[in-house]
């Protein structure tokens, strides 16, 4: 449940961010040397790295929360 919601939020963020970065890539053309601003390999690598980082960042707390006994957690409060 936690990972599903995190993946949904990451997918929305990556879709919006990917579209915006593709649209604004012409503005950074003068800063790039040796690659084109619309290089699909670079975009895929960047989006894959962000997706992996988000998955790891959400999987660690989800695995910790899955290991807690619900009865103990409810009695603790």
pLDDT per residue over 23-76, tens digit each? 887 777 777 777 777 778 888 898 899 999 999 999 998 888 888 888 887 887
Q: In the structure encoding, which two tokens stand for residue 26, read together?
A: 């012409």
Q: In the structure encoding, which two tokens stand for residue 29, read together?
A: 């053309």
Cα–Cα distances (Å) from 62 to 24, 28, 48, 59, 76, in that order, read 35, 38, 21, 5, 19
Q: What is the pLDDT of residue 68?
A: 85
Q: What is the pLDDT of residue 8?
A: 93
Q: Indicate the pLDDT class of residue 77, thresholds 50, 70 and 90.
A: low
The full 3-state SS of 39-70, as one line of letters, equals CHHHHHHHHHHHHHHHHHHHHHHHHHHHCCCH
Kindly report, residue by residue over 51-61, the tens digit of the pLDDT.
Answer: 999 999 999 98
Report the Cα 33 to chain-centroid distance in Å.
27
Q: Indicate the pLDDT class of residue 13, thresholds 50, 70 and 90.
A: very high
Q: In the structure encoding, which two tokens stand for residue 2, read together?
A: 């936690």
């Amino acid at each position: 449940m936690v990972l599903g919601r995190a993946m949904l939020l990451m997918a929305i963020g990556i879709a919006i961010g990917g579209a915006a970065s593709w649209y604004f890539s012409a503005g950074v053309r003068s800063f790039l040397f040796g690659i084109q601003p619309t290089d699909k390999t670079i975009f895929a690598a960047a989006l894959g790295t962000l997706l992996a980082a988000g998955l790891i960042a959400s999987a660690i707390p989800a695995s910790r929360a899955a290991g807690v006994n619900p009865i103990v957690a409810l009695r603790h409060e």
